[in-house]
Amino acid sequence: GAVVSQHPSWVICKSGTSVKIECRSLDFQATTMFWYRQFPKQSLMLMATSNEGSKATYEQGVEKDKFLINHASLTLSTLTVTSAHPEDSSFYICSAIGGVENIQYFGAGTRLSVL
Amino acid sequence: AQSVTQPDIHITVSEGASLELRCNYSYGATPYLFWYVQSPGQGLQLLLKYFSGDTLVQGIKGFEAEFKRSQSSFNLRKPSVHWSDAAEYFCAVGATGTASKLTFGTGTRLQVTL
């Protein structure tokens, strides 16, 4: 089946630093990937749509300069949380479109804790 | 815009009992519907999906769901719950096809008692 790998699974950083999260489609190519954010005991909120070779499309209310997305290849999209602050602490999940049925497959998520 | 409602925030069932998790959607055309399961600290695993055709859909782990257009529902069922089914369940709808971005419901947390 289609596998999406997300790295790291957990990261702790100091306030003001930047953190990069990687999302890789391991056995398929994905022209489109999505980035979601999930607060404790809440649903997933779409942050942005990442398209290979073009700029990401951000959802309303998501700061483009805070959450930088790069989709440089058909198997890798990265989310960089710039100048992270405690309120950015959350669970970030990526997904990639692919597989035989061309549907979303999700990574295992990254827990970000900003001190 | 599409939306998804999962009326039950938390459900507790005994192991071996049957289960039904409710999902109602709002969308003008034929939706693409999904059920995902999430274990604590993990990503989402696809249980089943409905695009077209037979309205009763079979999924993994013994789950099934029925699409009812007249009720705008896509309820998830399992005849006999196992303790390992305890998790968070999310219903989602996509509007523009199989590869469209998804709108998720708020989730239902399933607790299984032994």
Cβ proximity of A15 and A114 under 8 Å: yes
pLDDT digits (tens, 9 = 90+) for B22-35: 999 998 777 899 99
Task: Single out the residue of A1, A20, A25 nearest to residue A92, CA to CA.
Answer: A20
Cβ proximity of B98 and B92 under 8 Å: no
Q: Mark which residues 70-99 of A lie under 8 Å from B by CB.
A: 91, 93, 95, 97
CB atoms B43 and A42 under 8 Å: no
How many Cα atoms occupy the beta-carbon half-sphere of B96 within 13 Å?
A: 4
Task: Closest CB to A102: pick one of B43, B98, B109.
Answer: B98
> What is the residue-level pLDDT of chain A in tens, covering all 115 positions?
788 999 999 999 999 999 999 999 998 999 899 999 998 878 889 999 998 888 999 999 999 999 999 998 999 999 999 999 999 999 999 999 987 778 889 999 999 999 9
